[in-house]
């Protein structure tokens, strides 16, 4: 192959790979998140959890009082699965699921114990995040900006999501 043809083939191959990564099994483009981010398919991960099925966009909208305006954005990182929900062009709420290991409930950070939720649950106000230890799972539900959501909203979302864990 002549050198010019080879150099032309590299960008074409890269473009084909990139376009292939932005579709699901049907060939349809994947939904995009805010700021041009492309959502990954809501596929099972090493945890066997379809994280964006633990809370629907409609459920998040009803609890936070703002309409979730795009498809949930799923990410998988090893033993951690994230789902982010966008409202008004920016991330508004998130759910993170991970397998519980032998680590104890964290201490030394300002937290507020939440009664009657999972095995143990704490609200960490300065990061607007609820952390729930429930059986084999650790579930975090929070809001992108401190002050965007309340403890009561996070608890309401957890009460919906926890029974849906495998």
pLDDT digits (tens, 9 = 90+) for 117-164: 999 999 988 889 999 999 989 999 999 877 788 999 999 999 999 999
| C-alpha dihedral (69, 54, 42, 31), degrees to nearest 10 | 0
CB 71 within 8 Å of CB 101 = no
In the 8-state DSSP scheme, what is residue 31? P
Q: Tell me if residue 21 falls in helix, strand or coil.
A: helix
| CATH 3.40.1000, domain 31-164, yes or no | yes
> pLDDT of 54-102, one tens digit each?
999 999 999 999 999 888 989 988 788 899 999 888 888 999 988 876 5
State which of 45-49, 102-106, 144-148, 161-165 shows the largest mean pLDDT: 161-165
Write the DSSP symbol of residue 29. B
Nearest alpha-carbon partner for 49 in 136, 144, 157, 142:
136
| Domain locations in the chain as residue ranges | 31-164
Q: Which residues contact 4 (CB under 8 A, 6 or more apart)?
A: none
**What is the distance between the alpha carbons of residues 141 and 9, in angstroms, rounded to a whole number?**
45
């Amino acid at each position: 192959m002549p050198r010019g043809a080879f150099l032309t083939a590299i960008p074409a191959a890269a473009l084909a790979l990139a376009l292939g990564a932005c579709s699901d099994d049907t060939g349809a483009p994947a939904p995009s998140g805010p700021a041009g981010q492309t959502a990954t398919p809501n596929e099972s991960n090493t945890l066997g959890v379809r994280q964006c099925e633990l809370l629907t966009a409609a459920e998040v909208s009803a609890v936070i009082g703002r309409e979730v305006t795009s498809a949930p954005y799923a990410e998988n990182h090893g033993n951690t699965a994230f789902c982010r929900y966008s409202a008004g062009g920016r991330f508004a709420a998130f759910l993170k699921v991970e397998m519980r290991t032998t680590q104890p409930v964290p201490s030394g950070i300002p937290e507020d114990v939440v009664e009657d939720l999972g095995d143990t649950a704490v609200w960490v106000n300065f990061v607007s995040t609820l952390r729930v230890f429930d059986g084999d799972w650790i579930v975090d539900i929070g809001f992108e900006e401190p002050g965007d959501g309340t403890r009561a909203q996070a608890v309401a979302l957890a009460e919906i999501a926890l029974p849906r864990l495998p």
